[in-house]
């Protein structure tokens, strides 16, 4: 018994007490944003929201709590009945750092309830931060037959094609066609993350321990730094006498992006057509002056070429915001705030209303 007490004393003095001291020091000297983890790996290795539960997200003084349903969507569990409207998108559509009631998906739900009656339509927020059209395709093919939507509404945002390419799961089978192949990455991605996230108490500690957040942030920075240096080393050195790069390279890249974009929307359309599901593709209409190189002015043309109507919100969103984004975005973070989400919701409703009318039971 005495030996056991001695071991406990050593454990407390040698491990627990130093950790508590470091925790207290971190809270005083370098307080952290206490955000939990809500991302998991999907069937092909793609990123998904977790299925069920909640997560705390903090950015400076802003704290938001997200909730998730069994289909990896933000919001409550779906209820039986009504036409299901599956909304797909990235962090803008997800409602990054804004309350669930302020997302434009929730605002569209409230408007539909007012116009058509409560329960006629059920909006499901299937968006995840960092998603692209490739993730939309993978979500539909992984969960669409379980969700059983009547209408799919993908919202396009910034860096869509760059993200789709970087995901590395959907690829064109050949450079001249529009057929896509799926490269299953589930055995190669997030293995360490899966192990760490499965540790008992890890999620709770993320939302309560400044010390753990400091360590986590540091490891992420090291990972990004290592990846950057690896890519730099892989890049061939530029000769001082090398001829200037021709314009053929970016033109070729644009053709590749355009073909890839059309192929993804063709695949979404095929999935929906096979099941009699309506599909309405929208842009958020957000002004992206700070990321001009990640805009795709030709994207609407490729969506149309895929046999779909492109509902562009730019005139009623960017056109109304003008040059002063500050009232509509979260400072520093630059995602839409509640006012910005409200502007997108109103513009989206104008475009979406005729589609819902055609879907309404009895029409």
* H helix or E strand, kind and range, residue 18: helix 17-29
The DSSP annotation for 227-246 comes to HHHHHHHHSPPPPTTPPPPP
pLDDT, position 235: 40
Mean pLDDT split into 10-residue runs, the chain, 363 residues = 60 58 70 81 94 94 96 95 96 97 98 96 97 97 97 88 90 92 79 60 69 63 43 40 42 84 97 98 83 71 94 93 93 94 98 95 61
Domain boundaries along the sequence of the chain: 29-230+250-359
Q: Can you tell me the distance from the alpha carbon of 351 to that of 345, in angstroms, rounded to the nearest whole number?
A: 10
φ, ψ for residue 347 (rounded to 5)? -65, -40
Transcribe 244-301 into DSSP letters: PPPTHHHHHHHHHHHHHHHHHHHHHHHHHHHHT-EE-EEE-----GGGGGG--TTHHH
Kindly write down the DSSP assignment for every residue of 194-237, as one continuous string. Answer: HHHHTSTTHHHHHTT-HHHHHHHHHHHHHHHHHHHHHHHHHSPP
- pLDDT score at 296: 78
CATH T-level fold of 29-230+250-359: Rossmann fold (3.40.50)
**DSSP state for residue 329 in the 8-state scheme:** B
Backbone angles phi, psi at 23, to 5 degrees: -60, -45
Length of the chain: 363
Contact criterion met (CB below 8 Å) for 90 and 124: no
pTM of the model: 0.84
Structure confidence at residue 226 (pLDDT): 44
For the chain, counts of helices (H) and of strands (E): 13, 12
């Amino acid at each position: 018994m005495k030996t056991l007490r001695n071991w406990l004393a050593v454990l407390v003095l040698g491990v627990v007490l130093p950790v508590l001291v470091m925790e207290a020091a971190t809270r005083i000297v370098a307080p952290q944003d206490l955000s939990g983890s809500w991302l998991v790996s999907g069937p092909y290795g793609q990123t998904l929201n977790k299925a069920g539960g909640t997560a705390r997200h903090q950015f400076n003084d802003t704290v938001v709590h997200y909730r998730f349903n069994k289909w990896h969507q933000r919001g409550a569990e779906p209820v039986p009945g009504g036409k299901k409207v599956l909304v797909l998108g990235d962090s803008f559509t997800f409602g990054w750092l804004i309350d669930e009631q302020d997302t434009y998906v929730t605002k569209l739900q409230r408007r539909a309830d007012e116009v058509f009656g409560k329960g006629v339509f059920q909006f499901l927020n299937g968006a995840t931060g960092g998603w692209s059209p490739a993730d939309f395709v993978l979500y539909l093919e992984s969960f669409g037959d379980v969700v059983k939507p009547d209408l799919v509404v993908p919202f396009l945002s910034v860096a869509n094609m760059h993200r789709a390419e970087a995901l590395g799961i959907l690829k064109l089978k050949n450079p001249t066609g529009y057929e896509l192949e799926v490269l299953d990455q589930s055995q190669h991605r997030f293995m360490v993350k899966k192990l760490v996230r499965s540790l008992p108490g890890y999620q709770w500690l993320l939302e309560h321990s400044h010390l753990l957040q400091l360590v986590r942030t540091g490891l992420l920075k090291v990972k990004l730094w290592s990846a950057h240096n690896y890519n730099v080393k892989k890049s061939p050195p530029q000769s001082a006498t090398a001829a200037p790069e021709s314009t053929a390279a970016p033109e070729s890249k644009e053709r590749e992006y355009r073909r890839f974009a059309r192929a993804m929307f063709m695949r979404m359309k095929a999935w929906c057509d096979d099941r009699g599901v309506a599909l309405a593709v929208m842009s958020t209409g957000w002004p992206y002056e700070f990321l001009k190189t990640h805009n795709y002015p030709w994207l609407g043309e490729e969506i149309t070429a895929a046999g779909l109507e492109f509902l562009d919100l730019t005139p009623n969103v960017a056109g109304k915001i003008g040059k002063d984004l500050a009232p509509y975005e979260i400072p520093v973070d630059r995602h839409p705030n509640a006012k910005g989400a409200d502007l997108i919701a109103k513009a989206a409703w104008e475009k979406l209303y005729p589609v819902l009318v055609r879907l309404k039971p009895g029409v």
